[in-house]
Amino acid sequence: MAMTLVALAYPSMLGLGKVSTAQDRVISNTQWGPLTEQDRDFVVKVRAAGLWEYPVGQMGLQKGTTPGVITASKHLVDGHAALDTTCRKIAPMLNITLPDLPSPQQQGFVSQLKADSGKKFDSDFANILRMTHGSIFNTISKIRSTTKNSLVRALADQANDTVLDHMTVMEKTGLVDFDQTIFQQTTPPKLPNSDLTPPPPAAGQPEVVLTPPPNATSTPVDLSGLTGGNPSAGPSPSPTVG
């Protein structure tokens, strides 16, 4: 039974280039509306994005050489900490298992930036992050316009504001090569699903928490209006068969 629940709660294929044959299939009915495969995958995508962009933001604060890169790094840490809090709030309410590590592809971005220094770091930082944020921006609008689940809608609203902000601060660095970035964004490499899928969390390990900075300006979604004022009191969703 435990293995069945994990299989339901955690997507088997997920990534920036994921194409599902049944994304609108309802996998559970909840008091906040039906939850589809694409709804679930979206929550996991937002969590996975923070798991690599938050530490890259911390890296940028140490390695960035221009004011624009430093500012963009602060926005990454601030925005993804707030998004992560929202993801961790709604995931147990919707019976969604969150990863504690980003996908192998995303880990590769981190490794590349760790190896960079100086102007090379600044340029790769701005272009990689502009590309990845641009890639998920269209996904957010699709989820926001189609989901029937109010918790997922609330996360999409927050993600839309955060991703737009992060795209903007990357552009303000003056380092984005738009021809290259948009090409990579619209024609991503055909990677195997294993490279695009964040691994499931290790059993018994504490959940990774992205701590807000002391001067945080971004805030998690207020779920009180969606949950009757007590987010922890909602019943677990009932999985559907098939």
Predicted confidence at residue 226, as pLDDT, reads 78
Task: State how far Cα 23 lies from the chain centre.
Answer: 18
Residue 183: is its pLDDT beyond 70? yes
pLDDT of residue 224: 84
Token reading at 35 = 């939850």
Closest by CA to 223, choosing from 157, 163, 160, is: 157
What is the C-alpha to C-alpha distance for residues 96 and 32, in angstroms, rounded to an integer? Answer: 14
Residue 33, classed as helix, strand or coil, is strand
Write the pLDDT tens digit of every residue in 144-179: 999 999 999 999 999 999 999 999 999 999 999 999
Tens-digit pLDDT profile for residues 209-241: 999 999 999 999 998 887 533 444 344 443 333
Mean pLDDT value of segment 27-51: 96
Among the listed residues 166, 160, 167, 164, the one whose alpha carbon sits nearest the alpha carbon of residue 143: 160
| 41-68 average pLDDT score | 98
Q: Are 123 and 66 in contact (CB under 8 A)?
A: no
Higher local confidence (pLDDT), 9 or 26: 26
pLDDT(3) > 60: no
Cβ neighbours for 194, distance < 8 A, ≥ 6 positions apart: 104
| Token digits of residue 187 | 């024609």
Q: Where are the beta strands (DSSP E) in the chain?
A: 26-30, 33-36, 238-239
Q: What angle do CA 131, 136, 139 make, to 5 degrees?
A: 150
- Residue pLDDT, tens place only, 80-135: 999 999 999 999 999 999 999 999 999 999 999 999 999 999 999 999 999 999 99
What whole-number distance in Å separates Cα of residue 64 and Cα of residue 58? 10
The number of CA neighbours under 13 Å toward the Cβ of 181 is 20
As a whole-number percent, the residues of the chain with pLDDT over 70 amount to 84
Q: How far apart are CA 151 and CA 141, in angstroms?
A: 15
Q: How many CA atoms lie within 13 A of 40 on its CB side?
A: 33
Q: What is the pLDDT of residue 225?
A: 80
Q: What is the mean pLDDT of residues 202-212?
A: 94
Q: How do residues 56-70 score in pLDDT, each as one tens digit?
A: 999 999 999 999 999
pLDDT band at 187 (very low <50, low <70, confident <90, very high): confident
Q: Could you tell me the pTM of the whole model?
A: 0.84
Determine the Cα angle at 188 with ends 182 and 191, to 5°. 165
In this predicted structure, the answer to whether residue 9 has a pLDDT above a threshold of 70 is no
For residue 8, pLDDT beyond 60: no
Backbone angles phi, psi at 52, to 5 degrees: -110, -30
